[in-house]
Structure 1
Amino acid sequence: MPVTTSPSEALPAHVAIVMDGNGRWAEARGLSRSEGHRAGLEATRHAVRFFAEQGVGTLTLFAFSSENWGRPREEVEALFDLFVSAIEAELPELIERGIALTFIGDRASFPSDLQTRIAEAEQASVANEGMRVVVALGYGGRWDILQAARRWVAAGDEGANPETSFAGYLSTAGMPDVDLLIRTGGERRISNFLLWQAAYAELLFIETFWPDITADDLRQGLAWYASRQRRFGCVTGAAEASAREVPSA
């Protein structure tokens, strides 16, 4: 595990985004919350293109949390319709750009047409070797840890490194941990998102509502990340000096 990250090495391998503020953006304009979600989809399209062009390997987007089931039925149904149409509309460009699309979360309660579109999109893009876009739908960090724990215990797979072994049962198995977690909309919490995976993520909170996010905002976020020293609990210098010590004969 690295002790520090210099600006020259500071492109995050995994960016995660809580795309917050769609509803408040719409309400401020006298529009329905559904209109806000549609505007947020346009921002998402631009964000995917931006991070792919920057060379980020994994981008995880929090689209629908396990707690979002508590929203008004009309809003939830409108979101599911939007997800179906978005997959159909965006998949051809994602495939053309070599982007792999993955969905994480408990999808069992989704409408059958959405479940079908999810499975088709994953299969159609599985061989792509560009950026991986991970869409969290029906996802909660606690749910993820609990389902992983049940599977891990059932498999009896403690291994030589239990922490590494356990991570292989999370919904993000095989993906790097989150380096940079961004939340828009002015709130300062991660809301049950990637709790295990974001243990050492740099947290960036942006006041701007998601539909108004621009490439400049995201570029500034990457610059802020590049300025950070990531010590992972170590002390800069001390750990490096220790690594250089040569044992006496």
Structure 2
Amino acid sequence: VYEGGPTPVVGFLSVASKAAAFAVVIRVFFTGFFDVALDWGILIAGIAAASMVIGNLVAISQSNIRRLFGYSTISHAGYILVGVAAGVKSGGGIFKAPEFAAIGPDSVLFYLVAYAAANLTAFFAITIISSKIKSDEISDYAGLSAKNPVLAIILALSLLALIGVPPTGIFIAKLYVFTAAVDSGLIWLAILGVINSAVSAYYYVKIIRVMFTRSDNAEEKISASPAPWLALWIAGAAMVFMGIAPGFVMEAAQSAVKALAV
């Protein structure tokens, strides 16, 4: 799907599928099976660990940017499951947590919003680039900084956000998720998450390095119609907002989780 589908559709599905799964998890584990949810905590933690490790290790070897994002999405699903495991193991997260506490479901929803903003920003940028260079190979992104400096900078910022570089939204989201894991007794899972975040930096930075490498055809400028640029700027603004106003987003996440659990 990631390699064959239209880039905007792929970007939307990469976020929408996780959001739908999150809603199901809240309804099942924190409402329907609340009394037995603790029994699922270790199983979900194991799936989270496997997703992070497998997704990152396979992504490292990818030369196609779509395939790379496909496998990196698996790793991000693992980070999200860290928060789910923490919430399940703690016996309900938000229902026992004080205001703005980074517990389970709250941290997961915050992560989803931060991930959606950064991932959509990256995919909108890739859409503009791929439509002009007619390629999804990372090596063909060489010289992008000369062909369109603004586009290169926006894509680079979105990639740094996906790594979780401070003070981006995903950095704060990972801080919430890993803190929830530690508070729930899943210290080993939090440590594994930090290690995998460092591993992911390798393949994201690889793309940035290629973009700012000189190319023989740097004089071929990249431009696009207003519509793709508008989508890119909206997603980029949301990505920046996640980093500068996390408290506002976390408060909204808590309200949403309470509504889902009713």
What TM-score do you get using the length of structure 1 for normalisation?
A: 0.24
**Larger RCO of the pair (alpha carbons < 8 Å, separation 6+):** 1
What TM-score do you get using the length of structure 2 for normalisation?
A: 0.23
More strand by share: 1
More helix by share: 2
Larger Rg: 1
